Every structure is written in structure tokens, then in C-alpha cells.
């Protein structure tokens, strides 16, 4: 059930639907540009940064490590007592690189709540430059677990900063290779690197286990949204003999891995074999490992053309057919969900209960992983641009499915799709109320996906039989999250741009269905791609050209005059509502796109410009 705080907030007046998805006037300067123009960044001095990191007090380091462990459940790779012991000694180059990477991702999170101790830290970009420089000199040294940890953390930072190639190289090209070398040195009878540190104590082995599975998760995350295959398939983990991920308690106290005889597949889906041994919240890292493996399969299916791939519309491959690719993945997702204790199911259980146990972030993360996978699977078969008055139905553009769905199948699919959409938005809001907001790329993608589907079902309510009564509220929650997210990760900028343009398209199509008659997903292929893409980039000009092209083609029939450019207003409307300032922040990201970068009035107030003069 939702918390009373959440229900109380729902009664606060919010901007209209149109006001939520249009940007307000641009602020003079993006908060990130202030960071990038900081004098200390312009005069970066590695020696001074090195001295700063070497002299950071223990209490400040502990606060940063605590933020990291809480806010990045997908990277549960730091054993805090071990890290502190290393830092209390003479800080090695590897230790300082690891600490630098932690500071890169925790400084922006610390600034959200702005405690006094954060003022003693440097800008995150300075730590990023320092960490990259340190790692460049360490990656070819003897394999080090701390170097792998630092590489995985900086991978997440680079992905959030839209440096996708860097993230790919750090994770797939270096971190995983070093981790494989460390494992090889441990298990081989005659190691080639006699200088490598391969301690065999219980805690060292436990840390290696966690880091190897963190590599697995990051491999899935960085591969999703790209066309590059993962480097660590589950079969490889089994071949290497990597034992199941340790629980939080096992990791904290250094459980002897030799006592864990369960195979990987058996442990990750243990409900099939051990109905009374369901995974609980202390095993949340193990839950994320198997969940990300499924999510990567979902993204691979979708980004390899999904239903449009050759043969996928054949009767035997339709989604309702048992054994079809869609059905197999959906069944695997549900088995994963069933492997968890029912206390981990949202909304039956809320964030606040798990927050009281110190697991609010892990609870939020695992549920969002389930709901966004559900959303992505069901959305693949719904029309990108529904132009009829009918209820839920499958694709209406070529290629269409070659068999009819069983009675009620599309209605049930719509129910699952938009239920997942709603739960993502409510969960993000409830987590924010509880102070457990997660500003990581994957969670941002969840908010982005739910925002688009809330716009979709608001404009086309019959696609869910009028059951999505909270779509506008859900959009509000998703945009509230993304406005905070974009202050931490540049990735949010591209997502907000895509949301603006998809909102424009859906508003136009819903208000004048004849204008887009005959238009299909193929006419908006770039926008469609961006809506599905975890690795989103700003393609604003392409979106405008697609929408403008559709408008121009429609206007040629003489029945629908094309829209015209209008001059920007001198005093744009300022939305003085609870989210007014929020939307000002959300709009700061916008890149100049002709008239678009300076003016976007209400869609109900004026005709929006869809092109440039003379086109």
C-alpha cells in the first residue's frame, strides 16, 4: 500500500498535463556548466588532488562510502571494513584510485542534501580527471581487485555522462579482463604473474566473488542499449566456477564460500527447487544479478527489431503462444519474481518498511527492475501511434501478426503494461518521500520509460479501456524524478528532450487523428528508437524533421494546412505551481534547436512550430 505521505501529496495542486511536458524559460546557466567552469577545475593539479585524497579524514570517507553502498545497489562491491583498513595504512595508488572513483559518484549525491561536510570535497569532475589519470597508469600493472572496483564505478559515471564508448572500454575492455586474470591467478596451479596479490583468506575470496558479479551486472547494463554482445554470459560464470552471489550478511562477515554448494542457476531461481527458501531482502544483490540477466534479454529482443525481426510475426512466434521468444522471456521474468519473498513485492509492501531496515534503495531497485522489464515486453506489441477509436490491440503497421490473439489477450496485456507504468511512477515518488532516491542511469531509464507511457495513455485512454486514471499524476512523479536526476547525470538531458517531442507527437495525433492518418512507426523511426533506447542521445533535429515531414505530407492533401512558425513571446508564461521551479530546472537542459530552444508555449494556446522558415 502507498504511504500516507504519498496520499497527502496527491492532494497538492499540480501543473496541467501540457505544462508538465513543456519546458519553461531557460535559466541563465545550467548547474553543470557552473561545475565545468569552476576555477579549480580550470587549474587542475594532480599533485594537489593527490594530497587532498591522501589526507581526507576517516569520518568523511565513511560518509562517502555509506552513500555509495546505499545509492548504488547494482555495485555492491565494497567491503567497508576492508576499505577502511586499507585507507588507514599508507594509501597505495590503487586505494587512492578507488577512493577517487567513489568520490566521483558520491559528491553529486551529497550535494542533493548538502550536509556541511560536503563542502570539504572537490568538484566531481576533478575527481573524475584524477581517477582516469590514475587508472591509466594502473591497468597494465599486476591485476588488482581495487583497480577493477574503481573501473566499474567510473564506468557507471561515464555512462551517466553519456560517454558511452569510455564506459564500454572501461567495463568490457579492461575491468572484466582484469577480473578474469585475478580469477585465473587464484585457480591455476602455476600462475604466470608471481607478483600478483592473490590472498586466499575468506574475506578476500568473498570480495572477489562480489566484484565478479558486479562485473556481470555492469556487463549487462553497458551491453543493453547497444548492439555489442555481453562479455560474461551466465554460461561463462558457470564455466569459471563462480559461486552464487553472497547475501549482505554473508558479505559483511566473510562467509566461507566453500560451504555454498548450490549451482548458479539453482540458486538464482531457487523457488523452483526450494519453495521455502525464497530470496529475502538481504539477498537483494543476488536478486539484481538474475534480474539484470533477464533485462538484458528483454533489451536484446527489442533492440534487434522485436516483433519486426524476420519470422517474429509468424503464428508460432506470436506473444501469446507458449514457447515463443516473448513468452519464454516473460515466463523467465515471472519465475524470477516468484523466487523472491512476498515481502519484496511492491505495492503490497512499501518503501518505508524496508527503509526502516536499511534496505529502502535495494527494495526500490529490484521492483523497478521487474516493472520496467514488464513494461518493455508488453509495449513492443502495442501501436506506436494508435489512430483509431478501438480499445487495446496489437500492431497496426507492417509487419502485422499472422494470427489472431485469444479473446481478452490484448486487454490483459494493456492492463499489465499500464499497471507497470503506474507502479514505476508511484514507487519513484514514494522512494523520494522516504529519502531513498536513486540517481543511477538504470533508474533514470525507468522514469523515462514510465513518463512516455503515461503521456501515451493520457492521450489515448482507450488503449487501456480508461483504466489509467492516474496517468497525469504519474507523469508528474516521473518528471520530478528526472529533474533531480539530470543534476547528477547528463543522460537525463536526452531523455527529457525525447519526452518533450513524444508528447508533442501524441498531443497532435490525439487532437487531430486525421492529420496522421496512414502514418506508422516507420514515419517516426528515430523518435521510436530513442523511446526504447537505454543509451539515448540528443536527436532533437531528427525528431523535428520527422514530425515536420509528417505534417508537410498531411498538409499537401489540402484539408490540413501546415503549421507556421511564430515569433517567440517576449514574456513567456511562468508556471506558478508547486512544480513550477521544478520545471524550470527540467528545462535547463534543452539545447538550442532554432525556435525550440527558446520558446515552447502551451500546446492548447498556440500552434507549435514544427520546422524552420523557408522549409
Return the pLDDT at 263.
Answer: 54
Question: 30: which 3 cell numbers?
Answer: 545550467
User: Of 373, 415, 372, which Cα lies nearest the Cα of 391?
Assistant: 415
Q: Which of 422-426, 457-461, 490-494 has the lowest mean pLDDT?
A: 490-494
Q: Taking a C-beta distance cutoff of 8 angstroms, is the pair 82, 149 a contact? A: no
Between 410 and 28, residue with greater pLDDT: 410
- How much of the chain, in percent, has pLDDT values that exceed 90? 55
Question: 354: which 3 cell numbers?
Answer: 524496508
Q: Assign 3-class secondary structure to 430-494.
A: HHHHCCCCCCCHHHHHHHHHHHHHHHHHHHCHHHHCCCCCCHHHHHHHHHHHHHHHHHHCCHHHH
Return the pLDDT at 585.
Answer: 40
Nearest-angstrom CA–CA distance, 200 and 393: 58
Residue 114: CB atoms within 10 Å:
9
Q: Residue 40 pLDDT > 60, yes or no?
A: no
Question: 484: which 3 cell numbers?
Answer: 533531480
- How much of the chain, in percent, has pLDDT values that exceed 70? 76
* Torsion sign across C-alpha atoms 94, 95, 100, 103: positive
Return the pLDDT at 579.
Answer: 34
Q: Residue 466 pLDDT > 80, yes or no?
A: yes
Q: For 303-317, write each residue's pLDDT tens digit.
A: 888 999 999 999 999
Nearest-angstrom CA–CA distance, 609 and 498: 17
Q: Residue 103 pLDDT > 90, yes or no?
A: yes
Model confidence band, residue 574 (pLDDT cutoffs 50, 70, 90): very low
Q: Taking a C-beta distance cutoff of 8 angstroms, is the pair 479, 525 a contact? A: no
Return the pLDDT at 143.
Answer: 92
Return the pLDDT at 573.
Answer: 30
Return the pLDDT at 568.
Answer: 32
Q: Taking a C-beta distance cutoff of 8 angstroms, is the pair 373, 417 a contact? A: no
Model confidence band, residue 33 (pLDDT cutoffs 50, 70, 90): very low
Instruction: Catalogue the long-range contacts made by 543-547 (C-beta closer than 8 Å, 24 or more residues apart).
Output: 543/497, 543/498, 543/501, 544/501, 544/593, 544/596, 544/610, 544/611, 545/611, 547/501, 547/504, 547/505, 547/508, 547/610
Average pLDDT for residues 453-480, to the nearest whole number? 96
User: Of 150, 157, 23, which Cα lies nearest the Cα of 98?
Assistant: 150
| Longest Cα separation, the chain | 80
Q: Which of 347-356, 452-461, 596-605 has the lowest mean pLDDT?
A: 596-605
Return the pLDDT at 77.
Answer: 94
Q: For 197-226, write each residue's pLDDT tens digit.
A: 666 778 888 999 999 999 999 999 998 866
Return the pLDDT at 17.
Answer: 66
Output the average pLDDT for the chain: 81
Partnered with residue 279 across adjacent β-strands are: 340
Return the pLDDT at 23.
Answer: 52
Amino acid at each position: 500500500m502507498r504511504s500516507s505521505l504519498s496520499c497527502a501529496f496527491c492532494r497538492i495542486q499540480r501543473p496541467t498535463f501540457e505544462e508538465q511536458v513543456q519546458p519553461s524559460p531557460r535559466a541563465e546557466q545550467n548547474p553543470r556548466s557552473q561545475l565545468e567552469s569552476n576555477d579549480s577545475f580550470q587549474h587542475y593539479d594532480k599533485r594537489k588532488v593527490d594530497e587532498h585524497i591522501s589526507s581526507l579524514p576517516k569520518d568523511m570517507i565513511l560518509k562517502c562510502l555509506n552513500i555509495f553502498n546505499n545509492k548504488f545497489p547494482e555495485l555492491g562491491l565494497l567491503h567497508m571494513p576492508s576499505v577502511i583498513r586499507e585507507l588507514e595504512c599508507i594509501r597505495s595508488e590503487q586505494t587512492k584510485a578507488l577512493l577517487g572513483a567513489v568520490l566521483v559518484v558520491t559528491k553529486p549525491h551529497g550535494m542533493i542534501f548538502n550536509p556541511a561536510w560536503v563542502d570539504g570535497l572537490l568538484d566531481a569532475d576533478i575527481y573524475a580527471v584524477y581517477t582516469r589519470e590514475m587508472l591509466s597508469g594502473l591497468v597494465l600493472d599486476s591485476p588488482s581487485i581495487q583497480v577493477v572496483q574503481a573501473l566499474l564505478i567510473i564506468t557507471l559515471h561515464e555512462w551517466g555522462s553519456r560517454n558511452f564508448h569510455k564506459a564500454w572500454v572501461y567495463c568490457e575492455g579492461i575491468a572484466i579482463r582484469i577480473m578474469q586474470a585475478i580469477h585465473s591467478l587464484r585457480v591455476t596451479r602455476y600462475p604466470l604473474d608471481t607478483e600478483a596479490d592473490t590472498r586466499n583468506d575468506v574475506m578476500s575470496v568473498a570480495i572477489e566473488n562480489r566484484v565478479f558479479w558486479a562485473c556481470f551486472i555492469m556487463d549487462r547494463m553497458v551491453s543493453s542499449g547497444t548492439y555489442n554482445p555481453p562479455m560474461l554470459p551466465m554460461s561463462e560464470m558457470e564455466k569459471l566456477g563462480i559461486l552464487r552471489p553472497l547475501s549482505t550478511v554473508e558479505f559483511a562477515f566473510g562467509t566461507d564460500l566453500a560451504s555454498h554448494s548450490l549451482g548458479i542457476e539453482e540458486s538464482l531461481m531457487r523457488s523452483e527447487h526450494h519453495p521455502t527458501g525464497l530470496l529475502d531482502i538481504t539477498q537483494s544483490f543476488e536478486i539484481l544479478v538474475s534480474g539484470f540477466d533477464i533485462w538484458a534479454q528483454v533489451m536484446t529482443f527489442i533492440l534487434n527489431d522485436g516483433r519486426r525481426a524476420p519470422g517474429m510475426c509468424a503464428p508460432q512466434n506470436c506473444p501469446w503462444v507458449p514457447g515463443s521468444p516473448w513468452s519464454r522471456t516473460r515466463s523467465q521474468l515471472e519465475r524470477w519474481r516468484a523466487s523472491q519473498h512476498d515481502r519484496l513485492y511492491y505495492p503490497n509492501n512499501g518503501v518505508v518498511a524496508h527503509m526502516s531496515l536499511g534496505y529502502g534503495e535495494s527494495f526500490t531497485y529490484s521492483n523497478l527492475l521487474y516493472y520496467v522489464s514488464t513494461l518493455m515486453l508488453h509495449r513492443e506489441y502495442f501501436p506506436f501511434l494508435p489512430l483509431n477509436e478501438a480499445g487495446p490491440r496489437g500492431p497496426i503497421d507492417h509487419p502485422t501478426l499472422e494470427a489472431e490473439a485469444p479473446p481478452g489477450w490484448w486487454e490483459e496485456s494493456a492492463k499489465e503494461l499500464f499497471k507497470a507504468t503506474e507502479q514505476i511512477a508511484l514507487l519513484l515518488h514514494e522512494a523520494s518521500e522516504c529519502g531513498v532516491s536513486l540517481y543511477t542511469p538504470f533508474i533514470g531509464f525507468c522514469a523515462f520509460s514510465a513518463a512516455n507511457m503515461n503521456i501515451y495513455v493520457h492521450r489515448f485512454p482507450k488503449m487501456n479501456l480508461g483504466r489509467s486514471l492516474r496517468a497525469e499524476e504519474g507523469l508528474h512523479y516521473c518528471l520530478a524524478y528526472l529533474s533531480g536526476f539530470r543534476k547528477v547525470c547528463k543522460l537525463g538531458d536526452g531523455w527529457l528532450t525525447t519526452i518533450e517531442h513524444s508528447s508533442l507527437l501524441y498531443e497532435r495525433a490525439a487532437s487531430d487523428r486525421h492529420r496522421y492518418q496512414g502514418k506508422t512507426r516507420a514515419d517516426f523511426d528515430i523518435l521510436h528508437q530513442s523511446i526504447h533506447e537505454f543509451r539515448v542521445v540528443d536527436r532533437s533535429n531528427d525528431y523535428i524533421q520527422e514530425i515536420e515531414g509528417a505534417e508537410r505530407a498531411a498538409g499537401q492533401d489540402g484539408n490540413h494546412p501546415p503549421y507556421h512558425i511564430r515569433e517567440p513571446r517576449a514574456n513567456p508564461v511562468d508556471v506558478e505551481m508547486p512544480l513550477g521551479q521544478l520545471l524550470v530546472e527540467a528545462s535547463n537542459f534543452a539545447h538550442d534547436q532554432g525556435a525550440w530552444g527558446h520558446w515552447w508555449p502551451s500546446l492548447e494556446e498556440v500552434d507549435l512550430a514544427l520546422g524552420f522558415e523557408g522549409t
